[in-house]
Structure 1
Amino acid sequence: MEANIKQVSAVLNPPAPHMVGDGFRVHNFFPKGYKLKMSPFFMLDYNSKIAFSARNEPRGVGVHPHRGFETVTIAYHGAVAHHDSAGNSGVIQPGDVQWMTAASGILHKEYHEEAFSKKGGPFQMVQLWVNLPAKDKMSKPKYQALCQRTLAKHQLANEAGLVEVIAGEYEGTKGSASTFTPMHVYNLRLNKNGKTLFSFPSAYNTAFVVIEGEIKVNDKEVAKTDQLVHFKNEGEQIEVEALTDSTVLVLSGEPINEPIAQYGPFLMNKPEEIQQAIADYNQGKFGYLEE
């Protein structure tokens, strides 16, 4: 068993926060905060729990473009409204997930939902950028609204808790989201003293974000609220024990071994594709969305 354990490479504190627009105070765990091997996950912005005061004018991020990847927004506290130039709109409440495939190009905006904005309160979110392989970067944009009540869930034995399977699969329970490359994205909700075991291929890049609580990994390392646990690319088994009631975002995916060219909101393979994205955006090819 010891030889097959996926060892922890580091338990990392959240980098200093910065504002995205006026609605999201985020810690960028990667790629800027830490240089972690996490493909197909290109970026992880973590809005740790903070209280926003009541306001009539919703805070947020105005209209901006994306091309070449997917944005995955997971809500833990608060509510976010989304609109995009493909005609999609929706609100994510705590436990909901919004999986937007920008692919060939989209404009979108994200704001605190109006009712939440007017009353204020605790706000906690994660946004991931999930890279797309070259062959899919220019595919048609799409949008998956994954609601908490319909998310695939796997109840753990001995009343340990449950695994919400957002993408991939866990113990035969298939995730709610469709993905372009193999990956597992879960919300693990463990009760105090609850334990479970994960098994991911050794080559998959794997990390946990402790959203709430305190966990022990492989009976050794302890990680607390707002910390990220990064794993080595060796071994497969990970044991997790909750030292208090805990919520953990679990990420594991097969790396996309292709060159990356990134500029602002564009994530492509070659610099000339970035130039093309900028030209297409300036020519209005990403559609139209009112501010």
Structure 2
Amino acid sequence: MQIIKSDASVKKLLRIQRNPDQHWIGDGFPVRTLFSYSALSPMISPFLLFDYAGPMEFSPTEQRHGVGEHPHRGFETVTIVYSGEVEHRDSSGGGKIGPGDVQWMTAASGLVHEEFHGRDFARHGGVLEMVQLWVNLPAKDKMSPPHYQSILDSQIPAVNLPESQGRVRVIAGEFEGIAGPAHTFTPINVWDLYLTSKQPINLAVPDGYNTLLAVLKGSAHVNGSETISAAEVGLFDRAGDYIRIDSAHNTTALLLCGEPIDEPIAGSGPFVMNTAEEIRQAMADYQSGKMGKIQAH
């Protein structure tokens, strides 16, 4: 049971971020970008971007639906699958993830990768639902070697909340002393929540950290009055020791909390660095093949 100190203060909800517009990434991922660093950087750091794909039904096919070869440098991508299957290949390897699994890819100094629906999923068809989160890297780590963490559902600890209030899967960081399996460069909590209670739930999060509650399904009533509905993200003040969820029913959400990286951001498409010159260098390195190539099957 999380202990909330008697002198703790609740983090204030600053705004609710939403985007009803859907766009396609390749021909396999219909996404809504629920937040992006271009306008919200101080409020969301160390997180950069959050795409919510689906849920959408795909018919059986022998075609490959997804997004082809493209580069990244300077940050990490975190893909969480709720339904469906994603096959990933990059210039250092690849893997496949299904429901409950997580792909934590550290692009860092640069790699080239592709993402497609899993072949079995494509043949049988079904509902695809997933999210992809971009996590910034501090300047000192942006040119680290690329790294890939394939985290299966069975490797992610789950903590049941008291009185049948729901469940927390700890992907990164720590909840009630239970550590998640993901390695991170800066202190980050990524909790996958399923909440089923009309009773209040207090979730302890560090003072000074940016905290976001991304509701995917259902709704969450917070801080006594505000409602964060499906496909919306609540952005909270850095000050405060916990967030209060007054009630939630059959709600799937992600709690994202992290120590801000208060450094300049220069971004262009698939590259997120600190200066415009570093972006130009990233483009040159990709074009010259320094980020590697995906090996043919």
Short-chain TM bin: over 0.9
Per-residue deviation at 1:218? 2.6
Per-residue deviation at 1:80? 0.6
Residue 3 of structure 2 corresponds to which residue in structure 1? none
Counterpart-to-counterpart distance in 2, 1:79 and 1:206: 29
1:121 aligns with 2:126: yes
Counterpart-to-counterpart distance in 1, 2:240 and 2:225: 16
Contact 2:34–2:232 (CA under 8 A) maintained in structure 1: no
**Which one of 169, 173, 180 corresponds to residue 175 of structure 1?**
180
SS at match of 2:244: strand
Amino acid paired to 2:226:
E
1:97 aligns with 2:131: no
Deviates more, 1:124-133 or 1:24-33: 24-33
Deviates more, 1:44-53 or 1:28-37: 28-37
Residue 166 of structure 1 corresponds to which residue in structure 2? 171
Per-residue deviation at 1:169? 0.5
1:230 aligns with 2:231: no
Counterpart-to-counterpart distance in 2, 1:241 and 1:119: 40
Residue 56 of structure 1 corresponds to which residue in structure 2? 62
Residue 68 of structure 1 corresponds to which residue in structure 2? 74
1:283 aligns with 2:268: no
Amino acid paired to 1:53:
S
**Which one of 39, 43, 56 corresponds to residue 45 of structure 2?**
39
Per-residue deviation at 1:84? 0.7
TM-score, scaled relative to structure 1: 0.94
Counterpart-to-counterpart distance in 2, 1:108 and 1:194: 44
Residue 130 of structure 1 corresponds to which residue in structure 2? 135
Counterpart-to-counterpart distance in 2, 1:126 and 1:265: 17
- Per the alignment, do residues 252 and 281 of structure 1 end up closer, same or farther by CA in structure 2, a change over 3 Å counting? same
1:216 aligns with 2:221: yes
Residue 160 of structure 2 corresponds to which residue in structure 1? 155
Per-residue deviation at 1:98? 0.3
Contact 2:34–2:50 (CA under 8 A) maintained in structure 1: yes
**Which one of 259, 265, 269 corresponds to residue 264 of structure 1?**
269
Unaligned runs of 5+ in 2: 1-5
Per-residue deviation at 1:35? 3.1
Contact 1:192–1:246 (CA under 8 A) maintained in structure 2: no
Amino acid paired to 1:74:
I
SS at match of 1:287: coil
Cα RMSD over matched residues? 1.9
Contact 1:80–1:112 (CA under 8 A) maintained in structure 2: yes
Residue 111 of structure 2 corresponds to which residue in structure 1? 106
Deviates more, 1:23-32 or 1:95-104: 23-32
Counterpart-to-counterpart distance in 2, 1:138 and 1:13: 33
Unaligned runs of 5+ in 1: none
Contact 1:48–1:226 (CA under 8 A) maintained in structure 2: no
Contact 1:209–1:250 (CA under 8 A) maintained in structure 2: yes
Deviates more, 1:220-229 or 1:193-202: 193-202
Amino acid paired to 1:114:
R
Contact 1:82–1:109 (CA under 8 A) maintained in structure 2: yes
Counterpart-to-counterpart distance in 2, 1:95 and 1:43: 21
Counterpart-to-counterpart distance in 2, 1:195 and 1:64: 44
**Which one of 8, 11, 35 corresponds to residue 6 of structure 1?**
11
Deviates more, 1:19-28 or 1:51-60: 51-60
Kindly tell me the number of residue pairs found equivalent between the two proteins: 290
TM-score, scaled relative to structure 2: 0.92
SS at match of 2:132: strand
Counterpart-to-counterpart distance in 2, 1:14 and 1:2: 36
SS at match of 1:35: helix
Deviates more, 1:225-234 or 1:258-267: 225-234
Q: After the TM superposition, which residues 184-199 of structure 1 pair with which residues of structure 2 at under 5 Å, given as runs?
A: 184-193=189-198, 195-199=200-204
SS at match of 2:207: coil
